[in-house]
Amino acid sequence: MTSQPESVDPEAVVKEFCAVWGRRDIDEILSWFTEDAVYHNIPMPAAQGLDAIRNLLGMIVVPSESIEFDILRIASAGDVVFTERIDRFLMGGRKIELPVAGVFEVRDGKIAAWRDYFDMQMFMQPSP
């Protein structure tokens, strides 16, 4: 289990963080956030702080049989990293492929803020 990012390069941190999701380990995922982090799936209310983020992760990770974040494009300016991704979930035998635009703010090798923009209806309905 990787509990600390291996790099402080913001793009490398985000790439490593996205890869960690495939292991579906909430504690490991949570270890990539700063204590005061904000995680905001834009269609939903923001989660502020590790306890709130843990609760949100529980709603995503626990019901998922598999998770894969496929980064299509990545760009950064300073500590801000932009991603275009396809997030894939298998939940209750249902495949979900979700196009996502994500914005990460990295501080000292950890995620201080993460905003994902996506269509909630696509998350709620199975992929064709």
DSSP H or E stretch at residue 54: helix 50-61
Tell me how far apart the alpha carbons of residues 100 and 117 are, in angstroms, rounded to a whole number: 6
* Residues carrying an active site annotation: 87, 116
- Distances in Å between the Cα of 84 and the Cα atoms of 36, 78, 101, 115 are 25, 18, 5, 12
Q: In the structure encoding, which two tokens stand for residue 41, read together?
A: 């799936």
Beta strands 47-48 and 94-107 are unpaired
